[in-house]
Structure 1
């Protein structure tokens, strides 16, 4: 059996090569499951949807037709073909079709507005675009005059009365596949020839950074980046051939895209449905063994469980609080054993309590996740350690990892058999990590981007001549090789008293103690004390309001009430008790609504755009500093 190092060194040239190898190895195995289209027996009496399947052989047939269809449109090696769609199986088919044609995919979030969509399409030089529906098509058509190189649009959902788009030939996905079939009738080996011509350093994907500040930058990821990701996820044990993975993450984001490479390498089943409002319903139907997510999902699940227990009141709430503490204590005890900071094993009394709590609480939590989850990978932002300990103790380990768009996603991840809560794990095989003198994390490896598209100056700012990438994140590495990210370099601020503050650390602590919080932003750069903007989770705070004299009021009225201010202040004081004086939150403002993507306050991967939020709520911030020296 080949060693992990040998597998990495002898990895295939591209995911296209991986894909055809997978088809040859397991042609009849199920590759993808996806919800049946509306009208195709879509709902059972239980309210769950019917799911359809594609084998690897069936997937290969469709991808081959899509690739040939693109070749028939004149798409050439490394030319860009954009995809603007929510996560669905057609996204994967289109992306594989682009790669097997030797072209490069430009990923566009479906939530991106028309102006920024046009910018991405123009900057990338995209020749064609796959769009989910006529709404996405309309965004492209609105700026067609700025896109002279864009000739074709292919619709996943194509109504009979599809409106024309000036300057674009509009095709349905089925029509593209028909063209592909005709093309292959004359050139039967065209797709195989296109794949054979792919080289490791050929451009495979342009993913535009979410842009927490400024214009998004196109990140150039070559075929070798994705081939490396596929093999690294296999040799690290992150993904296994017998896994069932539930994929709902946006495929326009590098995290979701990287998981496809790993799935093709291992050949496991992937259930695909990007509708966030269906996650809870889908989990028992899919029964995944592995799932990737953003921390916000686990925070919402935890807050939901806590709120439900509180609403039930009495003994049930006391049992939940006790079980939550036992889960954390048990997980921390396992952590202490793993790190060697304690000896003698987990105390018998804690083991006994954990067994009782499992019967009363944890089993129900695992059942809500489908009952088979061996681990859930979390990335894109930090997970509050107390929430991580809770899920680890409940038997739903959240394996935090770390990566950026510029590193083709994961560079580090926690191993399932040695989970260290509060860290982002160890470097994946083939990656190197070091800490610069100023504390910045530097990365080097096959998954690192080859630069920013059309931006050599920006590239030079973050990539050294010997291949080290400056992440912009501050962190540390312990003696066992586990990495801890403490903050974004650009987010660290200094108070007017000269003290440095890491806002992410304080925000994480607050999320861990306050079950009502959705988003929190600590402010204090150049000021003489710290404050916070706090948005509450509507699904958690409204049931509390009903039982505390605030029934009949809407969300904005509830969060502006003295009762809720007093409630939140209690959690603020709990956090302050564990902070240095200059870190403490002296004042806070409850926001009238949650932060969201639609208002431009969150990126599509749910990261907070701090400058946007601070501009939006400048008056609230100003009020919190009235009377201070810098007001």
Structure 2
């Protein structure tokens, strides 16, 4: 039995939460009405006052039997000031699993929108101009039926009792409602699942499937070819389930003609079903539910990794509830949106723990999750404009693209640029001097009407209350620009797969931006410590600031340490026509070079004053000329370097190769969440990087 300590316990035992304790006193603890009122009163950082929390967000943990820090010359151990003495594992003991969170939402908001997408019309060949959702009650039905059907099929083939759930289910699909239904089906019957990355290649999928001995693979139709190609190497699979609907003809053709292997290693017959078929089987068989316990293994999450084969992290249901407690204790739903239908865009890969955490929070609060209509980041803004979500989880690489797009659009008109610059500068000055939301009449009567509402509408953030960013550090300049241009709270978080994503989260409107907030839970090794591999520092308020990964640091020949991610973010946030950047430094050289993906229109505009002839060049021809014409490349490089602020001379680029979308998942140089795989990128661009050093520094005599 796992030990639990809940938010309810924190409220009961800490005098600073007396106000909320009194509000809950009239309800039976653990009842649905108690839980609803508890969630309505959160977050805890509002007690006794939010201002008091902001001043001291984390405090040293001083228990002498646990704190070995002073003896070993380390800093104190910090805990969030909300619960400094004990780690919180759940919101309440009645919400001790992810499944209980979801079912509570289904009881509380049965008719709320739950999962939705745009519908494709094969006749008009168009996607619908609105999102179509299924309700929470409908998703409960589908998840239970699908789970029952999976157990029926898998266990008949394994010749085991129908209620046997001693196997791992694998998912291979882009984000779609059926992904979440599959996950909820597993939770309903205490089946552990694991997710395969569509983008990491067949060898990785084959490795995970055989390592977990998974007998069932649920996949998107777009992965049919990939499934068929690895099927001969899968030793344990006996059931294949396609998420989309298949006709009887398609199913017969596949099972009779396309299966390259009819039996697995255990001599179990392999066959394909559609998800709809499996739901029908489950509805007919109706195996009794087997809800999980806190110690039940929820998922084995394989990290996408920046080197080598992915590593599997085993996460229990208590990991979900601790994560939900962390988010709910620090995430405030605006008062004007309480008890209203809220929407979230489920955009980041569900194979990644960050999106799993965000979706778990959404399902625990009756929030509707929308999905982009095809697995392509380029359609994100199109779908955001239709869904108009209330909050959004992003990674820095996407936010810097937002920043770049806003700056490029505003620069097209001199008058518009000047007006926008004045507004954004005034907003930035206000944020850095005061913090908090801007409730001034000037903001709502002028700034919003002239600029902010237009910018928000252009990105589909019309209803946005806040954005959460994680997975990698983001430049302070980007945070401040977006907060100012969008007048929206942006919360930078920090976490790991091992901790079910976030363990700390910055407050949305802090004056001194750039931190990841104060930590809320821990993972420790046998010596009492957990080494994450990240470099950072803790400020006077107890907040964590992340600089970079230890393994990313390197030295140049003059002995200066380089933090490449910090430098990349500085360029991405300051230069609107840089879309991607990979910084590289040869330790035998004294300067940096880079691989740069450019925004065509932006760089064309920037260069056209000196080189008017480039306006007639196509994108391909323009980049080809920049790479060959050293004078042109030098002028562009000088322009780019002048944009950057806060970088030392040795941190700036001295040469570069340019192109479009040079760093992508297909060539393996970035992870699905767009983090650069530096070892692989270095190998992939080996010839280009060597050539850049052969060309030498283009700006050695220039003042940086």
Please tell me the TM-score bracket, short chain as reference: 0.7 to 0.9
User: What is the CA distance between 1:266 and its match in structure 2?
Assistant: 1.4
Matched, 1:606 2:679: no
Stretches of structure 2 lacking an aligned partner (at least 5 in a row) = 1-23, 25-37, 45-82, 156-163, 263-269, 698-704
Question: Residues of 2 paired with 1:301 and 1:288: CA distance?
Answer: 16
Q: Deviations over 1:325-357 (max 9, x none)?
A: 33433332234x99xxxxxx99x9xx9699744
User: What is the CA distance between 1:246 and its match in structure 2?
Assistant: 2.0
Match of residue 68 from structure 1: 148
Q: For residues 225-264 of structure 1, what are the structure 2 equivalents within 5 Å?
A: 225-237=319-331, 242=340, 243-264=342-363
Q: Deviations over 1:254-295 (max 9, x none)?
A: 111112211222122222336333322222322221111112
The number of residues matched between the two structures is 574
Q: Which of 333, 347, 355 in structure 1 is aligned with 2:433?
A: 333
User: What is the CA distance between 1:315 and its match in structure 2?
Assistant: 1.8
Q: Is the 8 A contact 1:118 1:140 kept in 2?
A: no
Residues 402/300 of structure 1: CA separation in 2 closer, same or farther (3 Å cut): same
Question: Residues of 1 paired with 2:303 and 2:177: CA distance?
Answer: 23
Match of residue 137 from structure 1: 224
Question: Residues of 1 paired with 2:447 and 2:596: CA distance?
Answer: 32
RMSD, aligned CA: 3.0
Matched, 1:360 2:450: yes
Q: Is the 8 A contact 2:121 2:128 kept in 1?
A: no
Matched, 1:571 2:571: no
Stretches of structure 1 lacking an aligned partner (at least 5 in a row) = 339-344, 432-443, 449-462
Q: Deviations over 1:136-190 (max 9, x none)?
A: 1321222223212111111012443243333331000011011101211xx4xx1
Q: Secondary structure at the match of 1:31?
A: strand
User: What is the CA distance between 1:55 and its match in structure 2?
Assistant: 1.6
Match of residue 33 from structure 1: 116
Q: Which of 36, 51, 55 in structure 1 is aligned with 2:135?
A: 55
Q: Secondary structure at the match of 2:613?
A: coil
Q: Is the 8 A contact 2:106 2:366 kept in 1?
A: no
Q: Secondary structure at the match of 2:198?
A: coil
Match of residue 105 from structure 2: 22
Q: Deviations over 1:184-210 (max 9, x none)?
A: 1xx4xx11xx11xx3322221122111
Q: Is the 8 A contact 1:234 1:266 kept in 2?
A: no
Match of residue 565 from structure 2: 504
Q: Which of 237, 252, 268 in structure 2 is aligned with 1:150?
A: 237
Q: Deviations over 1:489-516 (max 9, x none)?
A: 1001122233222122222211122111
Q: Deviations over 1:293-336 (max 9, x none)?
A: 112222112212222233x333223333333433433332234x
Q: For residues 539-554 of structure 1, what are the structure 2 equivalents within 5 Å?
A: 539-541=600-602, 544=605, 547=608, 548-554=612-618
Q: TM-score scaled to structure 1, two decimals? A: 0.84
Q: Secondary structure at the match of 1:270?
A: strand
Q: Is the 8 A contact 1:534 1:589 kept in 2?
A: yes
Question: Residues of 1 paired with 2:331 and 2:281: CA distance?
Answer: 40
Question: Residues of 1 paired with 2:695 and 2:145: CA distance?
Answer: 68
Q: For residues 448-467 of structure 1, what are the structure 2 equivalents within 5 Å?
A: 448=523, 464-465=525-526
User: What is the CA distance between 1:478 and its match in structure 2?
Assistant: 0.8
Question: Residues of 2 paired with 1:26 and 1:40: CA distance?
Answer: 35
Q: For residues 295-314 of structure 1, what are the structure 2 equivalents within 5 Å?
A: 295-310=396-411, 312-314=412-414
Residues 360/245 of structure 1: CA separation in 2 closer, same or farther (3 Å cut): same
Match of residue 451 from structure 1: none
Q: Secondary structure at the match of 1:8?
A: coil
Residues 364/519 of structure 1: CA separation in 2 closer, same or farther (3 Å cut): same
Q: TM-score scaled to structure 2, two decimals? A: 0.75
Q: Which has the larger radius of gyration?
A: 2
Question: Residues of 2 paired with 1:88 and 1:627: CA distance?
Answer: 47
Question: Residues of 2 paired with 1:374 and 1:130: CA distance?
Answer: 35
Q: Deviations over 1:386-429 (max 9, x none)?
A: 1210111131222111112222111111223536422222223x
Residues 353/248 of structure 1: CA separation in 2 closer, same or farther (3 Å cut): closer
Q: Is the 8 A contact 1:42 1:49 kept in 2?
A: no
Question: Residues of 1 paired with 2:131 and 2:124: CA distance?
Answer: 9
